[in-house]
Structure 1
Amino acid sequence: MPADVSNAGKAAKPRCPICGKPAVAAHIPFCSTKCADIDLNRWLGGEYRIPTDERPDAAPPPEGED
Structure 2
Amino acid sequence: MNKPSQRVVRCPACGGDSVFDSSNRWRPFCSERCKQHDFGAWASERYAMPEQEGQSDPDFEQS
Which structure carries more strand by proportion?
2
1:9-48 paired onto structure 2 within 5 Å: 13-24=8-19, 25-48=24-47
**Structure with more contact order per residue of length (Cα contacts < 8 Å, sep ≥ 6):** 2
Mapped to 1, the partners of 2:17 and 2:42 lie a distance apart of 22
- Give me the CA root mean square deviation: 1.8
TM-score (norm 1): 0.56
Shift, 1:18, TM fit: 1.0
* Separation (CA, whole Å) in 2 of partners of 1:48 and 1:23: 22
Rg (Cα) greater in structure: 1
> C-alpha deviations, 1:1-23, integer Å up to 9, x for none?
xxxxxxxxxxx721101111111
**What secondary structure, in the 3-state scheme, does the structure 1 residue paired with 2:10 have?**
coil
Q: Given the two structures, how large is their TM-score scaled by the length of structure 2? A: 0.58
Secondary structure in 1 aligned to 2:17? coil
